[in-house]
Amino acid sequence: MVLADGGVVCIDEFDKMRSEDRVAIHEAMEQQTISIAKAGITTVLNSRTSVLAAANPPSGRYDDLKTAQDNIDLQTTILSRFDLIFIVKDVRMYSQDKLIASHIIKIHASADAVSGDSKVSKEENWLKRYIQYCRVECHPRLSESAAAKLQDQYVQIRKDMRRQANETGEAAVIPITVRQLEAIVRLSEALAKMKLSHVATENEVNEAVRLFTVSTMDAARSGIHQQVNLTGEMANEIKQAETQIKRRLGIGNQISERRLIDDLSRMGMNESIVRRALIVMHQRDEVEYKRERRVIFRKV
């Protein structure tokens, strides 16, 4: 992080970082400095860098039947230091998978052609010069109206998170504190800097709040509590599926999830209804998932 002073640090497998390294990164992400005391030499080095980190859930895949706290197995002290947190799921969708596969194949097919045409001089790289100009010449600050709007937005976000905590009985995995307010301020100023503006207006604040909402706020609100809404005819079907699951699986016994779903499907039950019934029973702590959700254990 000291070597990347003034640039960007990219960290892969962030969840596998050693605990002592995570403690060391706290100061770097909060104060933008690294304190060193080695061989009688005590000094402070600058680490004014952005951090882009990627991590995997403990089970390797994001489990929709678990809470965000179980899926994001990182300390809140680390999470609160990131401005934006995105949950990226590998959704099995034919059209999306086809687009991704086509993109990867095109990259490999045109690798030689791109490498031959990409030899441009520093003078011709206008994007690099544009970024450098923004960093040197533009230092935007919030206008009075934008600051007032941001204050109202922050109070409302805190209010919504308190209401969610009261309804679910669980605190958010990502606490919304003053650090998140500072994150939105940085985003607003960065958006104004991209426009070569010296003032961040309400438009920049609105866009920064939108980015924060679809990333960090969405991650903080995620969990099993919003997965199933029981209404109307579906509620009756789910109750029937619960009854069949209890008949098929005695208390204290376990069964493969795939086998249970196949058995109930042969009885004429819809697979999605069976999965929703399992989610409901999991929420009520009647069943427990083991072996990365492959085995279902009935508790009560």
181-185, 196-200, 227-231, 286-290: least confidently modelled range: 227-231
Summarize pLDDT for 166-175 with one digit per residue, the tens.
766 666 667 7
Single pTM value for the model: 0.68
The larger pLDDT score, comparing residue 206 to residue 91, is at 206
Look at 48-62, 91-105, 115-129, 149-163 and tell me which has the smallest mean pLDDT: 115-129
Residue 289 φ then ψ, to 5°: -95, 140
State the average pLDDT over residues 7-17: 90
Would the pLDDT of 228 be above 50? no
Confidence of residue 224 (pLDDT cuts 50, 70, 90): very low
Which pLDDT band holds residue 151 (cuts at 50, 70, 90)? very high
Of 120 and 217, which is predicted with more confidence? 217
Contact 287, 281 (CB under 8 A): yes
For β-strands 8-11 and 50-53, DSSP reports them as: parallel
Superfamily name and number for 8-89: P-loop containing nucleotide triphosphate hydrolases (3.40.50.300)
Contacts by 157-164, CB closer than 8 A, 24 or more apart: 157/217, 161/220, 164/221
Q: Give residue 223's pLDDT.
A: 56
Question: Looking at residues 12-41, what average pLDDT do you find?
Answer: 85
Q: Whose structure tokens read 């680390």?
A: 78
Among 28-37, 69-78, 140-149, 196-205, the least confident range: 69-78
CA distance 188 to 183: 9
> Is pLDDT at 293 greater than 50 in this prediction?
yes
In this prediction, residue 155 carries a pLDDT of 92
232 pLDDT exceeds 60?
A: no
Region of 166 (left: φ > 0; alpha: ψ -120 to 50; beta: rest) is alpha
Fold of 232-298: Arc Repressor Mutant, subunit A (1.10.10)
Quote the percentage of the chain above a pLDDT of 70. Answer: 86
Among the listed residues 215, 220, 223, the one whose alpha carbon sits nearest the alpha carbon of residue 85: 215
Q: Which residues contact 89 (CB under 8 A, 6 or more apart)?
A: 62
Report how far residue 125's alpha carbon sits from residue 122's, in angstroms, rounded to the nearest whole number. Answer: 5
Could you please report the per-residue DSSP string of the chain? --TTTTSEEEESSGGGS-HHHHHHHHHHHHHSEEEEEETTEEEEEE---EEEE----TTSS--TTS-HHHHS-S-HHHHTT-S----------HHHHHHHHHHHHHHHHTHHHHHHH----TTT-HHHHHHHHHHHH---EE-HHHHHHHHHHHHHHHHHHHHHHHHHSS--SS---HHHHHHHHHHHHHHHHHTT-SEE-HHHHHHHHHHHIIIIIHHHH-SGGGS----HHHHHHHHHHHHHHHHHS-TT-EEEHHHHHHHHHHTT--HHHHHHHHHHHHHTTSEEEETTTTEEEE--
Maximum average pLDDT range among 124-133, 141-150, 285-294: 141-150
State the chain's mean pLDDT as an integer: 83
CA distance 287 to 300: 7
Q: Quick one: pLDDT at residue 227? A: 46
Q: CATH classification of 126-226 is 1.10.20, yes or no?
A: yes
Tell me the domain boundaries of the chain: 8-89, 126-226, 232-298
* Residue, of 67 and 295, whose pLDDT is higher: 295
More confident residue, 266 or 72: 266
How many Cα atoms sit within 13 Å of 146 on the Cβ side?
A: 22
How big is the chain by its Cα radius of gyration, in Å? 25
**Which of the pair, 238 or 10, is modelled with greater confidence?**
10
Q: With a cut of 50, say whether residue 262 has pLDDT above it.
A: yes
Name the pLDDT band for 226 (thresholds 50, 70, 90): very low
Residues 187-192: what's their mean pLDDT?
Answer: 94
pLDDT average, residue stretch 48-59: 88
pLDDT for the residue numbered 212? 92
For range 71-90, the mean pLDDT? 84
Task: Note the pLDDT of residue 25.
Answer: 86
